[in-house]
Amino acid sequence: MKKKIAIIGSGIAGLTIANLFKKNSNFQVTVYEREKTLSLEEGYGIQLSPNSISVLNKIGFFNIDNNHFFNPSKLNFYSIHNNKICDLNLDRFNTDTVKYTTLKRFTLIEFLKDALFVNNIRFGKEVGKVSKIKEKLLINFTDNTNDLVDFIIVSDGVFSRTKSIIENKTVKPHYNGSIAIRTVIKSSEDFNYESENVSLIMLPKAHIVIYPINKKNEINLICIVRQKSFQNKDTYSIIKKEILSQNKSLENLFKGHLDSWPIYTTRKPSKSIYENVFYLGDAFYTFIPTIAQGASQSIEGANELFNLLSKDTKEIQNLYLKKD
């Protein structure tokens, strides 16, 4: 009989593992998403490591229209006054089929969603209670429906409410003392950086990362600024104080619509009280955006968990949490 898996949350982590299981006929997967639809808001750009691209290629990422992503070959480091300090050759991590890739989060989510069947995802579903019945887990959703499954994979993001419900204790991420500011810019003649590569501009209390996200000259800008607390201050006034006061020429980068949000991270990953519950993506462990590898880790973690569950090994929890 097929093993039933409930995946809670349809972000990059949940959708990637659902796609991997879709190809394994021993399992039946259903993704339960709290929102009414997938978050297809264009969103910020993401950078994906070659390792995560090789996982995505298993589910057909190599077919994606190549105008919708970019393969930068260098990461350039700049000082506060736009002087280039050094660079890192990203090409050395690439092969012919697997390359360091930048794209819009939206492009990745849409690809992952399109590769699933409509009945693989249920919207408007939030876990209310989980209880063990013999070897299985009974999920009671807040809309009074339920599902009896063999495994639960919780991938509902950094605030993971499902984790608090399952573990029966309040699990809260902590504010990491910085905020993220995002905008999309068009490369133009007065753009001072290499528009085909990743640029990292370092300031005392902030850094700015700029990179192309497609072949339409669209460039993603993420600025991480240290802030003791996050109040809904005017974002531009933060930019003026922490960035432009030090280099006015960076003004051109912040002319478009700016979004900002506080950055939260989780503490050490830990095992569930149930041996057949696993945490994945930001619900498992949240990487700080400075490392720019949270999405890549969600994808690589999905592949690791998929391999462990597919092999039907004992001690999956210990292997999943093992430090290599």
Ligand X SMILES: Cc1cc2nc3c(=O)[nH]c(=O)nc-3n(C[C@H](O)[C@H](O)[C@H](O)COP(=O)(O)OP(=O)(O)OC[C@H]3O[C@@H](n4cnc5c(N)ncnc54)[C@H](O)[C@@H]3O)c2cc1C
CB of 190 to ligand X, least distance (A): 25
Is 301 among the residues that bind ligand X (CB under 6 A)?
A: no
φ, ψ for residue 104, nearest 5 deg: -80, 145
Residue 154 bridge partners (DSSP): 8, 279
Is 113 among the residues that bind ligand X (CB under 6 A)?
A: no
The footprint of ligand X on residues 38-57 (CB under 6 A) is 39, 44, 46-47
The footprint of ligand X on residues 207-266 (CB under 6 A) is 222, 263
Interface region with ligand X, contact rule CB under 6 A, candidates 26-34, 54-62, 77-85, 244-252:
26-34
Is 163 among the residues that bind ligand X (CB under 6 A)?
A: no
Interface region with ligand X, contact rule CB under 6 A, candidates 3-11, 113-121, 197-205, 239-247:
3-11
CB of 195 to ligand X, least distance (A): 17
Enumerate the H helices of the chain as residue ranges.
12-22, 50-57, 105-114, 161-167, 235-239, 294-310, 316-321
Is 13 among the residues that bind ligand X (CB under 6 A)?
A: yes
Whether the Cβ atoms of residue 72 and residue 198 lie closer than 8 Å to each other = yes
Q: What distance lies between CA 144 and its chain's CA centroid?
A: 30
CB of 289 to ligand X, least distance (A): 4
Cα dihedral 186, 189, 191, 197 sign: positive
Binding test (CB under 6 A) with ligand X, winner from 111, 294, 303, 309? 294
Please identify, using beta-carbon distances, which residue of 26 and 164 lies nearer to ligand X: 164
* CA dist., res. 261 & res. 232, Å (int): 9
Is 305 among the residues that bind ligand X (CB under 6 A)?
A: no
* CA dist., res. 302 & res. 278, Å (int): 11
Is 162 among the residues that bind ligand X (CB under 6 A)?
A: yes
- Pull the structure tokens for residue 291: 């490392």
Closest CA to 225 of 251, 249, 201: 201
- CA neighbours within 13 Å on the CB side: how many for 82? 11
Interface region with ligand X, contact rule CB under 6 A, candidates 76-84, 152-160, 186-194, 243-251:
152-160
Please identify, using beta-carbon distances, which residue of 198 and 309 lies nearer to ligand X: 198
In Å, the largest CA–CA distance within the chain is: 66
Interface region with ligand X, contact rule CB under 6 A, candidates 113-121, 149-157, 237-245, 252-260:
149-157
Number of residues that bind ligand X (CB under 6 A): 35
> In this structure, which amino acid lies at residue 221?
L
Which residues contact ligand X (rule: CB under 6 A)? 8-14, 32-35, 39, 44, 46-47, 126-127, 155-157, 161-162, 180, 222, 263, 281-283, 289, 292-296, 298
